[in-house]
Amino acid sequence: MIETLRNKEILWPRCDRPYKWSDADNRFIACSPTEEKAAYELNVVLNEADAKDLAGKMRSTFAAERKPDWKDWAVKSLTDVFKKDETGHYIVKLRKRTYEDANSKPPSHWMPNGSAAVEGYQLTSGSKANLQVFIKPWSYAGKVGVSLRPLHIQLIEIAERQDRANVNPFASEIKTDNPFTEQPTPPAPQPAGDPFGPSDGGVIDDEIPF
């Protein structure tokens, strides 16, 4: 199932290229797509109503695609699925693994004017965007879950970058395959800072090689 999230704030994006957690560096580091656990990641902020709606669609997608030998996806509350911050909002991690494929590509990025972002464009935390997300249930080694994979990202409002080194310019070529057509008014900003480190941010992790 593909779900569109509109006018959502992006936090701690790492989707210009693959990244993985480094215990030695105590942070995420850029890496080759062929490395184990390399992934493209970003977080989005949802209010309670939107979090309930997304969790409901995750549950219904799991039910629709569940195989006879799968366990039940036994989640009882929103905090079993997403992290809740001090403001009462929910932080949802979107994650697309490379599965060690050298040809793996990041989610497509689109600028506010509808043009495609240049290759390697780096999103800034606090930016607002529309996002298309692939909801994918899985079962592996006796565990089940539902992953949320980012497919397309259309920026609505670009937050100022703290470190302006290596900032890519906007692309000039307008493409016709932009999957987004609406740009509603963006929401109020949320707090910065990534408190979750190497964890999955509350979303059931996708470790399954399908």
Residue 113 lies inside a defined structural domain of this protein: yes
Query: For residue 205, is pLDDT > 60?
Result: no
Q: pLDDT digits over 170-197, tens only?
A: 333 334 466 665 544 444 444 444 333 4
Residue 189 lies inside a defined structural domain of this protein: no
Residue 188 lies inside a defined structural domain of this protein: no
pLDDT band for position 62 (cuts 50, 70, 90): very high
Q: pLDDT digits over 65-121, tens only?
A: 999 999 999 889 999 999 999 999 999 999 999 999 999 999 999 999 999 999 999
Strand 143-157 versus strand 128-140 pairing type = antiparallel
Q: pLDDT digits over 21-35, tens only?
A: 999 999 999 999 999
Give the model's pLDDT for residue 177.
Answer: 60
Amino acid in the structure at residue 89: H
Residue 167 lies inside a defined structural domain of this protein: no
Residue with tokens 């004017």: 113
Whole-angstrom distance, CA of residue 90 vs CA of residue 110: 25
Residue 77 lies inside a defined structural domain of this protein: yes
Residue 85 lies inside a defined structural domain of this protein: yes
Residue 177 lies inside a defined structural domain of this protein: no
Whole-angstrom distance, CA of residue 109 vs CA of residue 102: 20
- How many domains, in total, are found in the chain? 1
Residue 201 lies inside a defined structural domain of this protein: no
Domain span holding position 60: 2-157
Query: What is the chain's alpha carbon radius of gyration, rounded to the nearest angstrom?
Result: 17
Query: For residue 55, is pLDDT > 60?
Result: yes
Q: pLDDT digits over 38-54, tens only?
A: 999 999 999 999 999 99
Query: Which uninterrupted H or E stretch holds 50?
Result: helix 48-65
The CATH number of residue 86's host domain is 2.40.50.140
Q: How is residue 140 written in tokens?
A: 């592996």
Query: Which uninterrupted H or E stretch holds 130?
Result: strand 128-140
Give the model's pLDDT for residue 162.
Answer: 65
